[in-house]
Amino acid sequence: MKIRNDQDWKQDIPAFRAKTAAFYAGELSKDAYKGFSGLYGSYAQKGGKASMLRLRMTGGCVTKEKLKFVADTIRKYQLHKAHFTTCQTIQLHDLDGAIVADIMEQALDVGIVTMGGGGDFPRNVTCSPLSGVDKEEYFNVLPWAKAAGEYLMGFIRAEKMPRKLKVAFSSSPKNLSHATYRDLGFAARPDGCFDVYSAGGLGNNPRFGVLIAEAVKPEDICYYIKAMWLTFRAYGNYENRGKARSRYMQEGLGGGENDRKAFLEKVDEGCVCGEDLKLQVQKMEVNKTGDGSTVSDSRALEQKQEGLYTVLWHPIGGQPDLSVLCALSDALQKMDEAEMRLAPDETAYIINLTGEEAKKVLAITAGNTAKTEFEASVSCIGASVCQVGVRDSQALLQECVKAVREADLPADVLPKIHMS
C-alpha cells in the first residue's frame, strides 16, 4: 500500500474547494455536503453558515511548529473558537466557508493533515499523552503510534469500511487512551510488547475490546492493523449505520471468541500474502536537562527525566482561551524540546520544561484552567455548533461550573463527569 507524502494530499483540495463553494452558494444540500466533506476533516456547523476543521495530531503530539501554525492561523483569520477533542485533535470553529480550504492547504506545509478527520475512515491515532516522559510507563509507545498513524493514512483511499476506525496506544496501566475500549488497541506490557484488543468501543452499547493476541512485538503491529481493516470489511454491518461500529461484530459473530478467531484468520491471511509490514522506528529521546530550579504546584508534574517538568492545562470543556493558546505558543518557541500533548480527556500537557520554564507556563495558563476535578469534566462541542448534536453540552458544563463556584463547594465534593 502506497503511503502518501503530506504534500500529496494537496491534489485533493481543489475538489473540496469547489464543493464547499457550491454548498455556501445554496447549490448543494446539507446532507450531500456532509457526506462529502467528512473525508477532508471538515463539516458545516449547525445552521450551515460556518464550518469547522479538524487538525489531526497523531498521538496528540503538537510540536512547537504545529502549535505556531495554529496560533498564526488564529491571528491571521481572527478566529474566536477552538476545541481540544477526545481524539487528541484540535478543531477550529466558526470558519468562513471561503477560508477552510486555505487553512487545510497551509496546514500541510507543517505536517498537519486533515484528510480522514471525519467520515468512515481511520481517525486520528490516540496515545498516552505523557509517552516518553511518564515515570510509570512500560516503554515509550509514541514512535509506534506515529508509525501506525502514517500507515493508516494509506487506507483513506482504500475500499470503504462500514464506519470510522479508532486506533489507540497505551503506555502504562493507567490506560489514558482507553486502548482496551477502541476499535483496535495496543496496550503496552512490561516486556516491551503489546497486548492487542479489538472491537471495543464506548457510546451506545459499550463493549470492552476482545483480547486478540498477547505479547505482540511492536514491529509487527501493522499486520494487526491490516487484519483489523480486513475483518471490519468482512464482518462489519454495511446495512445499518446504528450497528456499524466494530463493537457490534462481537454480537454478530456470536461472541468474543469467534471475533478473535475471525481476526486471527485475517492476521494469517496478511502474513501469507507476503507483504512486508514490519516496522522500524527511531527512538525518541529527550536530551534536555534541568536548570536546577524546582517547582511546587499541583499542575506541575515531575518527568522521568531528572529536573524536567510537565505542566497540566485543562481549559474548561476543552475550550481554550485563544489569547492564552497564542501566548503559550509564543513562549514555547523559545524553549528547547518543549511541546504540547493533547489527552483524550481534553487536557493539554506541556512537556520537557525546566523549572523556570514551567513557572512561565503555569503563569500563562493560570487563568484559563480547571481548578478542581469537577471543572476538568469532559464535554463535546455541543448542539449549538454540531449538526448532529441534540443537547448543548458545552453551555451546560459552563453553567454547572459557574453554579458550583457560586455555591463555594469544597474542591473534592464532585467527581469528573462526561457530557456528550
pLDDT of residue 1: 54
**pLDDT tier at 387 (50, 70, 90 boundaries)?**
confident
Q: Is the pLDDT of residue 192 over 60?
A: yes
The total of other beta-carbon atoms located within 10 Å of residue 135's CB is 11
**pLDDT tier at 37 (50, 70, 90 boundaries)?**
very high
Lowest mean pLDDT among 2-16, 143-157, 388-402: 2-16
Contact 216, 279 (CB under 8 A): no
The set of cell numbers assigned to 88 is 487528541
Mean pLDDT value of segment 260-280:
89
pLDDT of residue 7: 81
* 13-24 and 100-108 helices, crossing angle to 10°: 160
In angstroms, the CA 184 to CA 267 distance is 13
- 198-251 pLDDT tens trace: 999 988 899 999 999 999 999 999 999 999 999 999 999 999 999 999 999 999
Mean pLDDT value of segment 390-406:
94
**pLDDT tier at 270 (50, 70, 90 boundaries)?**
confident
In angstroms, the CA 236 to CA 230 distance is 10
In angstroms, the CA 420 to CA 416 distance is 14
Q: Is the pLDDT of residue 341 over 70?
A: yes
**CA angle 369–375–379, rounded 5-degree value:** 100
Percent pLDDT > 90 in the chain is 94
pLDDT of residue 271: 72
Contact 166, 123 (CB under 8 A): yes
- Sketch out the chain's domains with CATH numbers: 6-108 (3.90.480.20), 134-272 (3.30.413.10), 300-368 (3.30.1370), 378-419 (no CATH)
pLDDT of residue 69: 98
Contact 365, 355 (CB under 8 A): no
**pLDDT tier at 2 (50, 70, 90 boundaries)?**
low
Count H helices and E strands in the chain, helices first. 11, 16
Contact 397, 370 (CB under 8 A): no
pLDDT of residue 3: 63
The set of cell numbers assigned to 106 is 497551509
pLDDT of residue 272: 60
The total of other beta-carbon atoms located within 10 Å of residue 238's CB is 12
In angstroms, the CA 134 to CA 351 distance is 10
